[in-house]
Amino acid sequence: MTDNLRVGLYLPPDIPQSFKVYADNVAQHFPALGVEIVPFGNRNELPRTADVLWDIRSGGGNPPLEFLLGGPPLVITVHGFAPISLSGWEYFRTLRGMLMTGRYAREKLAKWQELKGGVAHLIAVSHFTKHEAVQLTGVPADKITVCHHGVDTASFTPDSGTPHENYFLHISNNEPRKNLPRVVAAFKQLRKHHDVRLLLKLPAQQAECYRNIDGVEVIANMLSTAQLAALYQRALGFVFPSLYEGFGLPILEAMASGCPVITSNASACPEVARNAALIADPRDQDAIFGAMRTLLLDPFAREQLVSAGLKHCGNFTWQASAACHASVLRNASN
């Protein structure tokens, strides 16, 4: 029996909720793999007797934190480099953002160059993200392992007894990279000729921008996982043509719920969706419109995508993701 691996998991109070959900989904399978999590939230709590440290907060190109270096070996999960890879306008959509993006990128990447030698290994959430990490940080490919996310098929599952309703669904935080204005514009194009709705699940502070648009319904309140799954189950399709995703977990959640998916040909989206979704150029409004029209008017195409999506999402499990993570963490500790 292999001794338990003690992993110091860095969880600062301000960590994005999506990163914490990711860690929870992976860590729930760690006990069966002989991995013990030791959470800590600041430098004073750093568990120096841990076998390895795990930092899950590298989204947006965040470099290593210096206080995590020099003790137990450090493994960092890299979720993506959106504010570095996209133009300042596409990521920030503000004049200030356009002006600051170059400086932001230079500072982040310079810090990677300075500190990368102290990192034992990187976990990339997709092959796309690994490629970007090699190109942008200079960390060699042999020090980066891809561990895809899984999808919770117990929570996101099809319901054959639920009739489809006449709406398309979009769920996001409405960051500019989520491309929502083009989704709405494509829907307006479709709405001119067809009686169809668009449901937008958005944060409350973003919702007001999209109220009072003909055919658009906004959901701003918090929803349970079961309520989200029900939205997927009843939809004509899930419209998710992001400009940038390091992974794109909602693609798999929709597929697992029996909902056909429209996503983009950019970043990690085609890697996650493969041939089980309609793939569109996210910068081409007409392409998004055409994909929505296909799902609305072609029941056979919808059925094929539902079947392909259910089969495809079976390739992504949190158990497999956890085994990948445990292997990386154990190897890094030696």
Edge-to-edge order in the sheet of strand 216-219: 216-219, 197-201, 167-171, 237-240, 261-264, 278-280
Least trusted range by pLDDT, from 62-71, 74-83, 95-104 = 95-104
Examine the domain organization and report whether 138 and 223 are in the same domain: no
Please count the other Cβ atoms lying within 10 Å of the Cβ belonging to residue 111: 17
Examine the domain organization and report whether 172 and 309 are in the same domain: yes
Asked, for residue 274, whether it belongs to a domain, the answer is yes
Asked, for residue 161, whether it belongs to a domain, the answer is no
CATH of the domain at 226: 3.40.50.2000
Name the percent of the chain lying above pLDDT 90. Answer: 88
Examine the domain organization and report whether 135 and 190 are in the same domain: no
Q: Is the pLDDT of residue 14 over 50?
A: yes
Per the structure, the count of domains in the chain is: 2
Give the pLDDT confidence score for residue 1 in this predicted structure. Answer: 39
Asked, for residue 158, whether it belongs to a domain, the answer is no
Q: How confident is the model at residue 205 (pLDDT cuts 50, 70, 90)?
A: confident
Least trusted range by pLDDT, from 45-54, 94-103, 233-242 = 94-103
Examine the domain organization and report whether 115 and 251 are in the same domain: no
Asked, for residue 184, whether it belongs to a domain, the answer is yes
Examine the domain organization and report whether 83 and 100 are in the same domain: yes
Question: Which residue type is seen at 331?
Answer: N
Asked, for residue 300, whether it belongs to a domain, the answer is yes
pLDDT digits (tens, 9 = 90+) for 211-228: 899 999 999 999 999 999
Examine the domain organization and report whether 105 and 23 are in the same domain: yes
Asked, for residue 160, whether it belongs to a domain, the answer is no
Task: From residue 116, give the alpha-carbon distance in Å to each of 39, 45, 199.
Answer: 23, 23, 43
Examine the domain organization and report whether 144 and 55 are in the same domain: yes
Between 313 and 162, where is the model more confident?
313
Give the pLDDT confidence score for residue 271 in this predicted structure. Answer: 98
Question: What are the E-state strand segments in 51-99?
Answer: 52-58, 74-78
Asked, for residue 159, whether it belongs to a domain, the answer is no
Examine the domain organization and report whether 208 and 75 are in the same domain: no
Examine the domain organization and report whether 175 and 38 are in the same domain: no
Which residues lie across from 122 on neighbouring strands?
76, 144
Examine the domain organization and report whether 209 and 140 are in the same domain: no
- Domain span at residue 301 reads 167-313
Q: Is the pLDDT of residue 42 over 90?
A: yes
Give the pLDDT confidence score for residue 199 in this predicted structure. Answer: 98
- Read off the tokens for 119: 């990192």
Examine the domain organization and report whether 181 and 266 are in the same domain: yes
Q: How confident is the model at residue 101 (pLDDT cuts 50, 70, 90)?
A: confident
Give the pLDDT confidence score for residue 161 in this predicted structure. Answer: 78
Give the pLDDT confidence score for residue 2 in this predicted structure. Answer: 55
Asked, for residue 77, whether it belongs to a domain, the answer is yes
Question: What are the E-state strand segments in the chain?
Answer: 5-10, 35-40, 52-58, 74-78, 121-124, 144-146, 167-171, 197-201, 216-219, 237-240, 261-264, 278-280
pLDDT digits (tens, 9 = 90+) for 267-285: 999 999 999 999 999 999 9
Examine the domain organization and report whether 307 and 325 are in the same domain: no
